[in-house]
Amino acid sequence: MSKPKQATTGDETQRRIRQWVRPEILDLTAYHVPDASGFVKLDAMENPYTWPEEVVEEWLSVLRDASLNRYPDPASRKLSARLHRLFEVPGDKGIMLGNGSDELIQLLTMAVTRPGRTVLAPDPAFSMYRMITIFSGMEFVTVPLREDFTLDREAMLEAMARHDPAIVFIDYPNNPSGRLFDTRDLVAIIEAAPGIVVIDEAYHTFAQATFMPRLEAYEHLFVLRTLSKMGLAGLRLGILAGDSRWLEEVNKIRLPYNINILAQLSADFALSHQAMLDAQAAAIRRDRARLTESMAALPGITAYPSDANFILFRVLPGRAAEVFERIREEGVLIKNLHRDEGLLRDCLRVTVGTEEENRAFLEALQKALQDLGAGS
């Protein structure tokens, strides 16, 4: 018997990683998710509400019949049919399901990837557009939003003419500003786009504005939705609606069983309780208004109006890290978005939680401002 080969040393491993891993991947920082155990968790745009006990029981009885020994339906037909109706996808348009909308962003991107091609989005926007574009080996082009977080239509049109992007991603409402963009600006962008345009409606249930009916008018337009922000972030289910001929192409690179049986059954079950999900969203919209108002009344705070389930706010110059840290010390986790350059300087973001969580956050924020004398 031969002796087992000696384990490679750390240095050798590093050398081999640098030899083989693509340089643009070596340059990326992994998406960081902080440990939130023990915190009031208002950092990730999750829905804070759970289900009543009898609904949980009903759900478990559905899962009892799941055939875990069998592969799931690769096309998730039952769930797809429900989503098609529920999201009012125009009759002749198709839908495709993903393991979260992140996976659909990745599949679309993979379908068009070629060296030298570009993907375009406003800045700031959802961070995955950049990450996924870079994984796939394309160049990511951004166009800064204006100071008030509105779209710079002329700059977008000019950048599209210059860079000929394969995909334009627009989050509607925008993450992190929480604002819906002007419809006319978006229409102008859609009409001028050389490739496809994806309107990412992750926060649709809080914004109640949509481009879904406009799929009829534009064959290169896609609408992206997710169940994550509706209260099912743990399930991982995203929906891409658009022209079936495009979806057939993208479907070729989707792994056949990307939506597992537990996700298919659970999503179908949850969506059969639409009234419950709607009531949760309505409570979040109501509390969003109250929270924005209370925050705006605090000294030194600018709270931006939001069409989503989170609120972007600005503190006095140079104070974001301290305010964030003080709030964390009070047991409340939010998101620090501050960057030295650009629109997000001095900015933090809080997700709208339950009334009790929002109160805890407000108290922590107030205390932080007092301690730091940041209001003066």
Ligand X SMILES: *Cc1c(COP(=O)(O)O)cnc(C)c1O
Residues in the site for ligand X, rule: CB under 6 A? 45, 100-102, 126, 171, 175, 200, 202, 226, 228, 233, 238
Q: Which is nearer to ligand X, 80 or 101 (CB)?
A: 101
Contact 311, 290 (CB under 8 A): no
Q: Which is nearer to ligand X, 292 or 309 (CB)?
A: 309
Contact 339, 288 (CB under 8 A): no
Cite the beta strand spans of the chain per DSSP E: 40-41, 94-98, 118-123, 139-144, 167-171, 196-200, 221-226, 238-242, 302-303, 310-314, 332-333, 335-336, 347-351
| Cβ at position 180, least distance to ligand X in Å | 12
Q: Which is nearer to ligand X, 171 or 307 (CB)?
A: 171
Report how far residue 259's alpha carbon sits from residue 210's, in angstroms, rounded to the nearest whole number: 25
| Cβ at position 102, least distance to ligand X in Å | 4
Q: Which residues of 56-67 are buried (b: 16+ CB within 10 A; e: fewer)?
A: eeebeeeeeeee
Query: What is the three-state SS of 77-117?
Result: HHHHHHHHHHCCCCCCCEEEEECCHHHHHHHHHHHHCCCCC
Q: Which single residue brings its beta carbon nearest to ligand X?
A: 100
Q: Which is nearer to ligand X, 247 or 374 (CB)?
A: 247
Report how far residue 205's alpha carbon sits from residue 127's, in angstroms, rounded to the nearest whole number: 21
Q: Look at residues 298, 243, 300 and name the one whose alpha carbon lies nearest to residue 96.
A: 243
| Cβ at position 99, least distance to ligand X in Å | 8
| Cβ at position 108, least distance to ligand X in Å | 12
Q: Which is nearer to ligand X, 72 or 100 (CB)?
A: 100
Q: Which is nearer to ligand X, 201 or 368 (CB)?
A: 201
Report how far residue 116's alpha carbon sits from residue 138's, in angstroms, rounded to the nearest whole number: 6
Token pair for 147: 């100071």
| Cβ at position 300, least distance to ligand X in Å | 27
Residues 6 or more apart in contact with residue 29 via CB below 8 angstroms: none
| Cβ at position 277, least distance to ligand X in Å | 15
Report how far residue 38's alpha carbon sits from residue 332's, in angstroms, rounded to the nearest whole number: 9
Q: Which is nearer to ligand X, 45 or 374 (CB)?
A: 45
| Cβ at position 112, least distance to ligand X in Å | 19
Half-sphere exposure of 42 (CA within 13 A, CB side): 33
| Cβ at position 289, least distance to ligand X in Å | 20
Q: Which is nearer to ligand X, 72 or 231 (CB)?
A: 231
